[in-house]
Chain A
Amino acid sequence: MSYLEIKNLRKKYSKDGPLIIDNLNLSVEKGEFIVFLGPSGCGKTTTIRMIAGLEDVNDGEILIEGVNIIDKKPKDRGVSMIFQSYAIWPHMTVFENIAYPLKLQKVSKAEINKRVKAVAEATDISNLLKKYPAQMSGGQRQRVAVSRAIVVEPKIFLMDEPLSNLDAKLRVSMRTELKNIHNKQNSTSIFVTHDQSEAMSMADRIVVMYKGKIEQIGSPMEVYEDSATKFVAEFIGTPPTNFFKTRIEKIDGVLMAVNSSFKYKIPNSLVKALEKYVGKEVDMGVRPEFIDISPEMEKTEGYICDTNISFVEPQGSHSILITRIGEVEIKIHTVKYMYMKPNTNVALNVKSEKVMFFDCDSTKRIKADNL
């Protein structure tokens, strides 16, 4: 049995309102670092708040170690939380803030002292214990919030966009630190964010959510390389996946993805799967780094069309080239041609094994093996 299990979870804010969470199922193993990733309004925060007990559940079950906790008060669930605003109590010193949950548990004074000191040591805020939150920087408040969350030794550690109020540099360093603390405490964590690079760098598994539904659950690389839906392919990766609206047609016995600008020969591995779609529209997606360009106008098996590079955005280690194919703006990630000048004519080839096709109605990926 999994450590945390969510079964058929549903949530509506008002009786006739839309489903905020629509039939969510998830199981989490002990010690995992799970990241809920999605755009704002996708229900990720609502889900984490339901686990914490701060939102009512309309339907479904949440089990921790096999026990349904839906009817339990937040304080009896054994979870702790880091809030977006940190929620450090301004009228208490750092010590009092961290000691608060222990005091409520009626832990002895000496024990409180010991545990708070130990936690403060671990999060490097020992010298701040007597200060009030108003006298501290954002990063320090964040550490206090973390200390308070780990001092109670929770079963599950919930984090609701804890890094979004920090400046960019601190955010990156806090990431590593949070992950470090997670590993040291050997805790089970659920982390909510809308920042995909945060999700990619921290997660054991990412849960991509969209409009109250789970789009895909998988390791960062799985989600990236093997996106299950068009949304996932679009949401993950900077710049996002390039999409073309194409039509599957059989021309002279060869399956092609056809568009007003190009005809692309479907790679053999996908022929079987796409044969059903002949005459139908599908979305073709290619990640920016899987597009090869050739200023020498060399055409490979994955040839799409010739085009003109209109902008070059240098990023230091690589450049992003921007071109238009028909109505669509295409971004290309290149290291080899990073010093290219704008207004160059090139041939565009894609890496055929990396091309993705998505069903237009269900937005699901059309995979080679789903016959």
Chain B
Amino acid sequence: MDKLNVIQKTVMTIVLATLVLIVVLPLMFFTTVSFSNAAEMSQFPKSMLPNFNVTVKVVPTEEGEFEVFYDSGEGYTSIITSKRASKLETHFTRQYAVTVPGEQLIEDFSQTLVKGPMEFTYKKDAFYNFKQFFSIVPNASTALKNSIIVSLMTILISLSIGSLAGYAMARYNFKLKRQINVSLLIVRMFPMVGISIPMAILLIRFGLFDTLIGLAFLYSIPNIALTSWITSSIFIGINKELEEASMVFGANNFQTFMRITLPLAFPALAASSMYSFLTAWNDTISALILTNENQTLALVVYKAIGTTSSGIQYAAAGSIVLILPALVFTFIIRKYIGQMWGGVEL
């Protein structure tokens, strides 16, 4: 290996590492935030990795109460002094996300009456923020359900119409084929905000305003075009003789489609379904304009982030709930997309 190559490699590595850090660091930080309790939120500097334990120092007072000290980075400071179980429980839950019954706390702290000041370490309820998100934010759980339904409907609509269109594009010749092909892409050209007013009017006319199916239709429009493009390129790649062989060897059209064409086109369908899913799952702007009651999760999270000043950690938890399915879905589909571009000979 010559020198230039080493330099090139080093520069390349640095650039790639920077890019990865730019993407990964905020995501990591956000994940940490979503697992942080209120006390940690006011901490500075914040830790990069989430902490799952809370350590407090308890000192008994002369009146028989317990003074709780917490170290938020600048040494232990006195936070609360009480001997009432309910008060301690509320404090520990709200501030530290530690959901231990007050009686248990009192019992633990009682040891200090004999042994003097002690440190106690409690396990955080790791998913406290997530639970809080769904209980504090109105409609959050409904919104999650809505998001799932809308996404599935979008996949269904765009896949069924788009793949049929793609098949027609690939296999048949008809008038204006090229024009239709190009105009499919034009559909994707317009920004959602730009066409939202006419869209809203249309959906109101159709009686689909503020319905999940209306939203799914809206998301499907650009994805039908994309799906037909992706699938038609795959269908073209599938040798027609494979289908003809199936017909000669005893299958009818439907059996041929199900047993030969569809399995061979599966990577394309998987890729298209991913795009459809992501469109529907990630959209906020259309949902903001076109829904009222039936909000989607992305919209709810957006609103939660936009409106809270305290409790950012709950919004962060909501965001993680939003990110995770998209991540998982993409990860599952990845294999098939790899197949599609990996050049499995058909």
Question: CB within 8 Å of B: which residues of A?
Answer: 52-54, 73-75, 79-81, 83-85, 87, 89-91, 100-101, 104-105, 134, 148, 152
B245 — which chain A residues lie within 8 A by C-beta?
Answer: 81, 83, 87, 89, 148
Q: Of B241, B252, B255, B345, which is within 8 A of A90 by CB?
A: B345
Q: Is B103 an interface residue (CB 8 A)?
A: no
Q: Is B202 an interface residue (CB 8 A)?
A: no
Report Cα–Cα, A90/B242, bound state, in Å: 9
The answer to whether residues A101 and B241 also contact, given A90-B345, A90-B346, A134-B344 and a CB cut-off of 8 A, is no
Task: Determine the interface band of chain B, counting residues with CB < 8 A from chain A.
Answer: 20 to 34
Which residues between 62 and 103 of chain B lie within 8 Å of chain A, taking CB atoms?
A: none
The answer to whether residues A52 and B248 also contact, given A87-B239, A91-B264, A104-B255 and a CB cut-off of 8 A, is yes
B247 — which chain A residues lie within 8 A by C-beta?
Answer: 53-54, 73-75
| In the complex, residue of chain A having the shortest beta-carbon distance to the beta carbon of B263 | A91
Question: CB within 8 Å of A: which residues of B?
Answer: 239, 241-242, 244-252, 255, 259-260, 263-264, 344-346
A89 — which chain B residues lie within 8 A by C-beta?
Answer: 242, 245-246, 260, 264
Report Cα–Cα, A89/B239, bound state, in Å: 10
CB distance from B248 to the nearest CB of A (A): 5
Report Cα–Cα, A134/B244, bound state, in Å: 20
The answer to whether residues A90 and B344 also contact, given A84-B241, A85-B239 and a CB cut-off of 8 A, is yes
Q: Of B239, B244, B249, which is within 8 A of A101 by CB?
A: B249
A80–B244 CB distance below 8 A:
no
| In the complex, residue of chain B having the shortest beta-carbon distance to the beta carbon of A103 | B250
CB distance from B149 to the nearest CB of A (A): 32
Report Cα–Cα, A89/B260, bound state, in Å: 7
Report Cα–Cα, A81/B246, bound state, in Å: 10
A53–B248 CB distance below 8 A:
yes
The answer to whether residues A75 and B346 also contact, given A83-B245, A87-B244 and a CB cut-off of 8 A, is no
- Can you report 20 A-B residue pairs in the complex whose CB atoms are below 8 A from each other? A52-B244, A53-B248, A54-B244, A54-B247, A73-B247, A73-B252, A74-B247, A75-B247, A75-B249, A81-B244, A87-B241, A87-B245, A90-B344, A91-B264, A100-B249, A100-B259, A101-B249, A104-B249, A104-B251, A152-B249
B264–A90 CB distance below 8 A:
yes
CB distance from A121 to the nearest CB of B (A): 20
Report Cα–Cα, A74/B263, bound state, in Å: 22
Report Cα–Cα, A134/B252, bound state, in Å: 26
Report Cα–Cα, A157/B246, bound state, in Å: 15
Report Cα–Cα, A84/B240, bound state, in Å: 11
A74 — which chain B residues lie within 8 A by C-beta?
Answer: 244, 247-248
B242–A54 CB distance below 8 A:
no
CB distance from B128 to the nearest CB of A (A): 48
| In the complex, residue of chain B having the shortest beta-carbon distance to the beta carbon of A158 | B248
Report Cα–Cα, A105/B251, bound state, in Å: 9
Report Cα–Cα, A105/B245, bound state, in Å: 15
| In the complex, residue of chain A having the shortest beta-carbon distance to the beta carbon of B243 | A87
Q: Of A87, A101, A105, A134, which is within 8 A of B242 by CB?
A: A87
CB distance from B229 to the nearest CB of A (A): 23
